[in-house]
Amino acid sequence: MNIAKSIKRAFTLVEIMIVVLIIGILLAVAVPNFMTARETSRSKACSANLHQIESAKEQYAMDNRLADGTAVAGLANLADYIKKTPECPSGGTYTAGAIGADPACSEGGTHIL
């Protein structure tokens, strides 16, 4: 008599739980790092946009012979000096401000590189 044994191989519940636990630990480490990287990226993009607005405002002032303290009506006046009007990555709005003053963002303040 020859009895054929069929052996079924499968994962046990403990093995599956260990895999889920390892994935959970990896996510717990990765998600905060991702959030920090995203906020850092937004902050740097905002700072670069403010620097671009400041450069356009200085060029506008030189071309129009404007003194420090002269108000710039808005980013529309700087359209000839900026390729594309920058958009805030955090959803805020940019304010050019007066000549000689730093431009500002409603979300991030006035940080220029």
More confident residue, 14 or 110: 14
pLDDT digits (tens, 9 = 90+) for 19-66: 999 999 999 999 999 999 998 999 899 989 999 999 999 998 998 888
CA dist list (Å): 12 to 8, 9, 43, 72:
12, 9, 47, 70
Whole-number percent of the chain with pLDDT over 70? 89
- Give residue-wise pLDDT tens across range 59-92: 989 988 888 888 887 788 888 888 888 888 888 8
Beta strand 104-105 pairing with 94-95: antiparallel
- HSE-CB of 40 using CA atoms within 13 angstroms: 6
Q: What is the mean pLDDT of residues 106-110?
A: 70
